[in-house]
Structure 1
Amino acid sequence: MADLPAEIRALYPFKSHWLDIPAGRLHYVDEGQGKAVIMLHGNPTWSFFYRDLIKDLRGTHRCIAPDHIGCGLSDKPQDWTYRLQDHIDNVVALVNSLGLESFSLVVHDWGGAIGMGLAEALPSKVKRFVILNTAAFRSQRIPLRIAACKVPVFGEWIVRGLNAFAGPAAKMSVSTPLPPPVKAGFLFPYDSWANRIATHRFVADIPLKPEHPSYAALLRVEEGLAQFQERPMLIVWGQRDFCFNDHFLAEWRKRFPQAATKLFPNAGHYVLEDAGTEARTAITQFLND
C-alpha cells in the first residue's frame, strides 16, 4: 500500500506498527499509555474509522486499532481464506504478541463478531465492552443491496470491479455527507480489484445457513455472549442504520439488559461520523469510569 496522501495523513497522524502472521503483515495503530482499549472495525472501513476516538483517548489509554487482513494498510493476500475464525485468530495473535493482560473492546460492524470471538477466546482479559452498530449473533435479516453482493460471480464483479460496496457505503452509511478528505480516507485502501478482495469476502462470509463455512464459528461466538452479562457494557447506536437497524439493537438489549445505552436517532451506520463528539464523549466517560 502506498504512503497515505497528505490530506488523509493529517486526519490519521499515527505511527504504523506491523505484526507478521501467516496471512501476511497485519497493520495496527498503538497510541498512548494506560489501560488498553482494542478497537475493531468492520467492512468496508479500517482503523481510520476510529481516528478521532484514538485522539480523544490516547492521553489516558493505550489505543490499539488493527486493520483486518485485506483491509486498511494490512496486506491483501489474494489466496487467503477471509473467514470469521481466521480474523478472530489474527486478533488473538495480536493480543498475545503485545502481552496484554487486560483490555476493553470497542467493536463496529464485522468487528462485533470478531471482537466477541476474541472475548470468547480470552474471556478473563476483557474488562469492558463498547458496542457500535454491529451484531455477534445469527440473523436472517440482510438488506437487499448487501444480499445482491453475495450472489456468486455477480457479487464479486460489482464489489471488486465496480467498487459497489465501499463506494456506496461512504454515502449510505451516514446521514450527513462526509467531508471530501474523510471520504477519501475511507476509500483510500480499496482502489483496485486486488485491494477490494476483503470487501467482497466479508460479504460472502455472512453465514445465513448452517452449511456455510463460518456458521459454526458465529454460533460459537453467539453462545459465548452470555458469560459477559455482568461485564460493563455501553451500546452506542445510530438509529438510521440501513443494515444494523433497531432489530439488532433490541437483540443486544435482550442479551445484555444491564448495558448502558446511548441512542442517536439521526445517526447512520458510521455512528462515530454522524454523532461525532457526543458519541466519543459517551465512550470516553464510560471507559474512564
Structure 2
Amino acid sequence: MTRADATFGSSFPYAPHFTDVPGYRMHYVDEGPRGAAVVLCLHGEPTWGYLFRHLIPVLSATHRVVVPDHMGFGKSDTPPDRSYWLQDHIDNLERFVLSLDLNDITLVMHDFGGPVGMGLAARHPDRIQRVISTNGPTPFGQADLVERVTANAGVSPWFQWIAKAEADGSLEPVLGQLGFNILSTLKLNGFENHTLITDTWLDAYGSPFASTAECLGAIGWAKGFATGAHRFETPDAAADRAIRSRPAIAIWGEADRTLHAEHFLPLFTQIFPSAPVQRLAGVGHYCLEDAPDKVGRLITDFIQQT
C-alpha cells in the first residue's frame, strides 16, 4: 500500500482522506468547495487516483472533486478476506457515496471505473447529473454487452493474456509481481506518452503493489473476467430512463489496445445517441496520461456547456 503522505515529488500534493464505511480503510481525495456540485473520478486497472492528478486542479476551483481509490488500489487497503469482483467495487462505492451524501455528481470514469460508475448510476440515478467516459465502458443493461465484451477480448492483447494466463496458472504469479512489471502492464494496455516515464512516475504506479498480498485488487479484476465472476449492474426502467436523459460525453483515445473503440463506443451511443463523442488520434488507453491537457479542456468545456 502506498504511504498516506506520499506525494511523489509533489506531483500528487492532495491531502489524504480516509473512511472505513466500505468495511476497509478507503482513501480518497476531496478538493474544492464542499457546497459545490461534485465531480466523482473513478480509476481502473492497474491505476489509482494518481491518474487524475492533472484534472483535479482544473476542476476544483468550481467543483468538489472527489477521487476514491478502489479496494486494493492506491492508498486504500487491500483486505485479504474480501473478493474483488465488479459487484464488490460497486457495493463499496455506493457505501462511500451515501456516507458522504454526494449529490449532483458528474461521473468521470476510466477503464473499470466505467462499469463501477454505471453500477452506481443504476442504483442511484437521482444523484447523477452528468456522465463522462474517458476510455471507460458504459454497460447499462444492453442486450449485446456480452457479445461486445467477447469480440473485444478476441483482439485485445490484455484480455488475450488474461485468458491464457488463467488457463496455464500464471495469472496470479505474474500480477502478484505487479510492482515490478507495472510499466509492461501499462504498455500492454495502450500507454503512448513515453516522455512521462521517470523513476517518480514508476514509483507512483508501482508502489501500491509492493508485495503479492497487495496485488489482490489487480489480480481480482483480471481473474474476474477470466472466470466470469464479474456481474454487471442492470438498471430498472426508471433508472434507465433517468440516466438516458443526462448530459454525457465520451472521450476515447483511439490507440487503446485494451478497450477498442469499435466495440465499446456503441455501448455509450446506445444510451446517449445525441451525446458528443471525441476520438483522440494517437492517444492510448490511459488518455488522462497521454493527453491530460486535451482531456481536461474537453471535460471543462462540457461541464460549462451543460
Is the 1:116–1:225 Cα contact (8 Å) retained in structure 2? no
Is the 2:193–2:290 Cα contact (8 Å) retained in structure 1? yes
Instruction: In structure 2, give the amino acid aligned to 1:120.
Output: A
The RMSD of aligned alpha carbons is 2.3
Aligned-partner SS, 1:77: coil
Q: Does 1:122 align with 2:136?
A: no
Deviation at residue 207 of structure 1 after TM alignment:
6.9
Q: In structure 1, which of residues 145, 164, 179 is the aligned counterpart of residue 197 of structure 2?
A: 179
Which has more strand, going by share of residues? Answer: 1
Q: In structure 1, which of residues 85, 88, 99 is the aligned counterpart of residue 87 of structure 2?
A: 85
1:83-122 aligned at under 5 Å gives the runs 83-122=85-124
Say if 1:234 and 1:213 are closer, same or farther in 2 by CA, change over 3 A.
same
User: Which deviates the most, 145-154 or 100-109?
Assistant: 145-154
1:205 alignment partner in structure 2? 224
Is the 2:163–2:226 Cα contact (8 Å) retained in structure 1? no
User: Which deviates the most, 239-248 or 152-161?
Assistant: 152-161
2:16 alignment partner in structure 1? 16
**Count of aligned pairs:** 284
Deviation at residue 55 of structure 1 after TM alignment:
1.3
Aligned-partner SS, 2:54: helix
Deviation at residue 184 of structure 1 after TM alignment:
2.5
C-alpha separation between the residues in 2 aligned to 1:13 and 1:162?
24
User: Which deviates the most, 163-172 or 227-236?
Assistant: 163-172
1:287 alignment partner in structure 2? 303
User: Which deviates the most, 78-87 or 158-167?
Assistant: 158-167
1:76 alignment partner in structure 2? 78
Q: Does 1:196 align with 2:215?
A: yes
Give 5+ residue unaligned stretches, structure 1.
none
Deviations for 1:75-100, whole angstroms, at most 9, x for unmatched residues? 01112111211111111111111122
Instruction: In structure 2, give the amino acid aligned to 1:251.
Output: L
Deviation at residue 136 of structure 1 after TM alignment:
3.5
Say if 1:166 and 1:147 are closer, same or farther in 2 by CA, change over 3 A.
farther
C-alpha separation between the residues in 2 aligned to 1:239 and 1:225?
28
Give 5+ residue unaligned stretches, structure 2.
140-144
Instruction: In structure 2, give the amino acid aligned to 1:122.
Output: H
Deviation at residue 2 of structure 1 after TM alignment:
4.9
Q: Does 1:242 align with 2:257?
A: yes
Aligned-partner SS, 1:128: strand
Instruction: In structure 2, give the amino acid aligned to 1:112.
Output: G
Instruction: In structure 1, give the amino acid aligned to 2:284.
Output: G
1:233 alignment partner in structure 2? 248
Say if 1:251 and 1:287 are closer, same or farther in 2 by CA, change over 3 A.
same
Percent identity reads 32
Instruction: In structure 1, give the amino acid aligned to 2:213.
Output: A
C-alpha separation between the residues in 1 aligned to 2:295 and 2:10?
22
Say if 1:116 and 1:96 are closer, same or farther in 2 by CA, change over 3 A.
same
Is the 2:49–2:74 Cα contact (8 Å) retained in structure 1? yes
Aligned-partner SS, 1:65: strand
Is the 1:108–1:133 Cα contact (8 Å) retained in structure 2? yes
- TM-score if structure 1 supplies the norm length? 0.90
